[in-house]
Structure 1
Amino acid sequence: MQAAPPLAARECVAAAAPPPAQFNFAAHLFALNAARSTQTAYIDDHGTLAYGELEARALRFAAALRALGVRAEERILLIMLDTVELPVAFLGALHAGVVPVLVNTLLTPADYVYMLTHSRARLVIASGALWPVVSAALDEAHGSDCLLVVSQPPEALESDALMPDALKPDAREYHLLHELIESAPPATRAAPTGCDDIAFWLYSSGSTGKPKGTVHTHANLYWTVENYAKPILGIRESDVVFSAAKLFFAYGLGNGLTFPLSVGATTVLMAERPTADAVFVRLVRHRPTIFYGVPTLYASMMASPALPARTDVALRICTSAGEALPREIGERFSRHFGSDILDGIGSTEMLHIFLSNRPGEVEYGTTGRPVPGYEIELRDEAGRPVPDGEIGDLYIRGPSAALMYWNNREKSRATFQGDWVRSGDKYRRQPGGCYVYAGRSDDMLKVSGQYVSPIEVEMALVQHEAVLEAAVIGVEQDGLVKTCAFVVLKPEARAAQTAPADLALTLKAFVKTRLAPHKYPRDILFVDDLPKTATGKIQRFRLREQFQTPGGSA
């Protein structure tokens, strides 16, 4: 029997009390907020929704699903922008025992065809603005078997004479969400689901193949609140929260739905893309106390000339996930706003953050310590624990872990290993107990026989005053792996018109003063922006595909 790993490679903190065996998360939220019927639950671009209205509309939608013939445990696809209709649909489905599948709103018809067929969705709910792409997907998939519900009537599309007939609203039968809700009586009883019943799906990133349908339970939502939102964020009823990450992401779903609704807080929703300017408008107008962002957004905010003054906002705490937060960005943000950013890491498989910095204990440049209720192990390639200071594969054990990837046994076995989840991330643990991100396992580089973390090189580059963002990849040249950095300059650095070759030499010398000599980037290519996922993660595989040795920058 293998001995337990030493504390240096393993961390554990006690978890909260479990929910009852019979547990429906939507019914749980409605019971928690029974006395808050007039309090504001949501503010979106068109108005507000009180807690009592949220419950009433969700219960009517639960009844409407049953009237449409959608049965418990069947899937419905939610292709919806961040408006008040999305929480109504999500919670109504949970209440009815129907399984909502939240999907990215920025995908192509081909992506939706795959998700429709893979999930065998009985119904699709789409925002009116997304009608053309969803309609095209239904035409290619099992459109005749799948009901369509539109959250807002696509009136603008009806007057577009140039739109192909197949994409016009009258070419496909559909239901309007608000009509379904208004015509149905409220459901009187929640589906008798248990803690381990399937509640919803999220599709993980498809960067290494087709997206994986990640299956979560009713209790998983509860655990992210009790283990992270309450003890780490200290979220409370008086908070106003705003998440730049959308609700269809695991990170955004907790930020903008699970967490605030569990304590009676108010949530600001934004349908448009989370640019720095769009975020500033909400921070000033609604004065949220909790803001959830990603590193690339924080970098853009700090580089913007429109950055609000500290007195214009009401931030008490912020979080970051998706990529490692550069130390320099975190420190500058804290100095400017007087609010710390709690950098952390979560995953679609674990539903939310399981490793995080804490208020009053922030160590920028690290991902902090394990969240209560989660165990962390760092293992080498043979599965043995690694000592402090060495890079290892990150494994997590905790109550919010997904059940499986739907209809994908091979990937499920590789990721869900007994009680443990293999994240695919590389980390090292500092002697003081904080964890430092070293990159995705697939992104690690071996240069001159030694492993190099691209994240480490990127962190060094962004400390230079001219650099806004950086991404590092490995490129094979003459049989050897060399590091190449793609660098986005700050506006003032672009305007300075320094010769690229001279600036590249300056940045190489800068990195050498901060890292071991073999880690500096041999090539530096200046670009206008970096390819990213909708969550803000840098797509290094796209940089590898597009790489050409930059002339004059080596």
Structure 2
Amino acid sequence: MQGTSGNAAEYFVDRHLAAGRSDKTAFIERGGNARSITYGALAADTDRMVGLYRRHGIRREDRAMMLVLDTVDFPVIFWGSLKAGVVPIPVNTLLSADLWEVILDDSRATALFVSSELLEWAAPLVEREGLKVFVVGGDPGPHLDFGAELAASDPGPSVDASPDECAFWLYSSGSTGRPKGVRHVHSSLQATSDTYASKVLKIREDDTVFSAAKLFFAYGLGNAMTFPMSVGATTALLAGRPTPDSVFDVLEKTRPTVFCGVPTLYAAMLAGMNGSRPEGLDRLRICVSAGEALPEEVGTRWREKAGVDILDGVGSTEMLHIFLSNAEGDICYGTSGRAVPGYELRLVDENGQDVEVGEIGELLVNGPSAADGYWNQRDKTRSTFEGRWTRTGDKYELRPDGRLVYCGRTDDMFKVSGIWVAPFEIEQALVSHPAVLEAAVVPAHDESGLEKPRAFVVLKGGAVDDALAAELRDHVKERVGKWKYPRWIEFVEELPKTATGKIQRFKLRQLEGEVQ
């Protein structure tokens, strides 16, 4: 049971000491200088974070930017910040240095924590106005050493925070524009654990979790930190990029029971299996996918080859984690499932009216983990957060059985012959062809100025020729309808994506003038 304070660190960290989990491993790293940390050591180190902030004049409600890889330093800094009343801001470590500057300036963070592997690109940030302390984990060079600073700091008590008090920020991926600072309160963290983690994922104390999605994403933060910590489970961490080879290595070395990935990674891992079942999948009881809708073909092939199902779900930075999902015993690949217990969903038309079964509408969600708004973007806050309801910007179709089928982002939808076309439906049809690894579909204008589907296709291998393009067009006609086939098919080496694995269709739409 949570204590009298609304400070989330009390529930996720300190509660485990009284529960007798002090000696249990909370996090274990994979890689070169692998470390691990127990729940007891995590509690002690997060107490020392309070002293570290005091020593450097960082006060309650100040902000601390985190350019920190998935190492044991991450939970120490994050939860220690909450204990101190400082607002941690985990930032995408794969962004360009100029975007780091934008986020640092926008957030007005007074403390910056950096993993030494990123120091070459992050070092210029030390000169930014308003920054009081610059701390480096690993090899610090001329900067403050995180380990030494922590050891030199006396432990301090957690602040007594309100459940509605701002706890941390996450910056949106910025796939279609400038990143937005999304502000979340203390109670949102437990809200996602009490809903999705408890009632859909059914997280257990004896689980070992590995999330390929990083901790600085809302999806990864829940998967690899708050969910396992809500029950005292163990998390395996990978500091490097999650390639199929590196992920297979972690799976083999740590034998997790829960694996969380994104559709692009699952497709790439299937392509790398070469017909055999890799080591490390034997203890998996469930897998999770989010970030983009999981193609039906990928889900069914993964179940066949890996021997375990994928729970495909939908979440957002604004809602902190998944609010619409398939569930064990209720999996239907090709759909996003049903509302997670604790959340309400609506599909509305352009006039805000609920759509009927079989119709397409924009998805709105109401739930306990909604963000407190965007930082310094009032108009965007007002257009996204409408009272109890949050606009997702996603279009879905309501099926008779109550499941929702993803159609695309609101900005990605377009009409052909006066009928709405869902790019994802065409993409699923393309991916179901044995030669196709990935596909993205955007509108393009024909010689009459009318919009028609244009496909960008990544192949698993083999020769590219006109015959294959014609074969793919016929394949789409047979699967989803004759009028939906892509008029143009372009074979590419890779698709533009965000670091979360989401396809950046807006970049493909910018190639309008290059249609042949």
TM-score (norm 1): 0.90
Q: How does 1:76-115 map to 2 (within 5 A)?
A: 76-115=64-103
Contact kept? 1:327, 1:365, Cα under 8 Å: yes
Partner of residue 373 from structure 1, selected from 320, 342, 349 = 342
Structure 2 residue identity aligned to 1:145:
L
Match of 2:238 among 270, 288, 312: 270
Residue 153 of structure 1 is matched in structure 2 by: 139
**Structure 2: how far apart are the matches of 1:29 and 1:87?**
11
1:71 and 2:63 matched = no
Matched, 1:503 2:468: yes
Aligned pairs for 1:309-458 (under 5 A) are 309=277, 312-313=280-281, 314-458=283-427
Q: What's 2:486 paired with?
A: 521
Per the alignment, residue 465 of structure 1 pairs with 434
Offset at 1:546? Answer: 3.3
What's 1:251 paired with? 219
Tell me the amino acid that sits aligned with residue 196 of structure 1. D
Structure-1 residue corresponding to 2:460: 490
> Would the aligned equivalents of 1:310 and 1:338 in 2 still touch at CA under 8 Å?
no
Task: Quote the offset at 1:547 in angstroms.
Answer: 4.8
**Aligned twin of 1:130:** 118
| Corresponding residue SS for 1:426 | strand
Give the 3-state SS of the residue equivalent to 2:475 in structure 1.
helix
Consecutive unaligned residues of structure 1, counting only runs of 5 or more, are 1-16, 155-168
Match of 2:23 among 38, 51, 57: 38
The 8 Å contact of residues 21 and 194 in structure 1, kept in 2 or not, is answered as no
SS at match of 2:112: strand
Contact residue 213 and residue 405 of structure 1 kept, 8 A:
yes
Q: Match of 1:345, SS?
A: strand
Q: Which amino acid aligns with 1:194?
A: S
Q: In 2, distance between residues paired with 1:523 and 1:204?
A: 32
Secondary structure of the residue aligned to 1:33 is helix
Q: Where does residue 24 of structure 1 map in the other structure?
A: 7
Secondary structure of 1:304's aligned partner = helix
Deviation at 1:31, TM superposition (A): 3.3
Deviates more, 1:240-249 or 1:26-35: 26-35
Query: Do 1:523 and 1:549's aligned partners in 2 also have CA atoms closer than 8 Å?
Result: no
Instruction: State how far apart, in whole Å, the 2-side matches of 1:513 and 1:22 are.
Output: 59
SS in 2 for 1:514: helix
Give the superposition deviation at 1:518. 1.6
What RMSD in Å do the two structures reach over aligned CA positions? Answer: 1.5
Match of 1:224 among 188, 192, 196: 192
Aligned residue among 48, 52, 70 for 1:60: 48
The one-letter code matched in structure 2 to 1:485 is: A
* Distance in 1 of aligned mates of 2:427 and 2:59: 49
- Which of the pair has the greater relative contact order for Cα pairs under 8 Å at 6+ separation? 1
Structure 1 SS opposite 2:238: coil
1:136 Cα deviation from its structure 2 partner: 2.3
The CA distance in 2 between the partners of 1:349 and 1:307, in whole Å, is 39
TM-superposed CA distance for 1:20, in Å, is: 6.9
* Preserved contact between residue 301 and residue 307 of structure 1 (Cα < 8 Å): no
Q: Distance in 2 between matches of 1:449 and 1:202?
A: 39
- Cα pair distance change 1:20/1:474, threshold 3 Å: farther
Shift of 1:175: 1.5
Asked if the contact 1:428–1:437 (Cα under 8 Å) also holds between the matched residues in 2, the reply is yes
- Quick one: which amino acid aligns to residue 407 of structure 2? A
What's the offset of the Cα at 1:376? 0.1
2:458 corresponds to which letter in structure 1? V
1:296 aligns with 2:281: no
SS at match of 2:411: helix
Report the alpha carbon displacement of residue 33 of structure 1 after superposing the two structures with TM.
1.0
In 2, Cα distance between equivalents of 1:206 and 1:138: 24
- Does the residue aligned with 1:60 lie in a helix, a strand or coil? helix
1:214 aligned onto 2:198: no
1:450 Cα shift? 1.3
CA distance in 1, matches of 2:211, 2:383: 32
Pick from 153, 158, 163: which aligns with 1:190?
Answer: 158
Matched residue, 2:248 = 280
- The runs of at least 4 aligned residues of structure 1 exceeding 3 Å deviation read 19-22, 305-308, 546-551
* Cα deviation digits, residues 411-452 of structure 1 (max 9, x gap): 000000011000000011111011100100000011121110
Shift in CA distance, 283/311, structure 1 to aligned 2, threshold 3 Å = closer
Instruction: Give the drift of 1:68.
Output: 1.1
Instruction: Give the TM-score normalised by the residue count of structure 2.
Output: 0.96
Gap change, CA 1:30 and 1:312, over 3 Å in 2: closer
- Mapped to 2, the partners of 1:543 and 1:378 lie a distance apart of 27
One-letter code aligned to 1:481: E
Shift of 1:501: 1.0
Amino acid in the other structure paired with 2:319: M
Aligned residues: 509
Distance in 2 of aligned mates of 1:125 and 1:307: 43
Unmatched 5+ stretches in structure 2: none
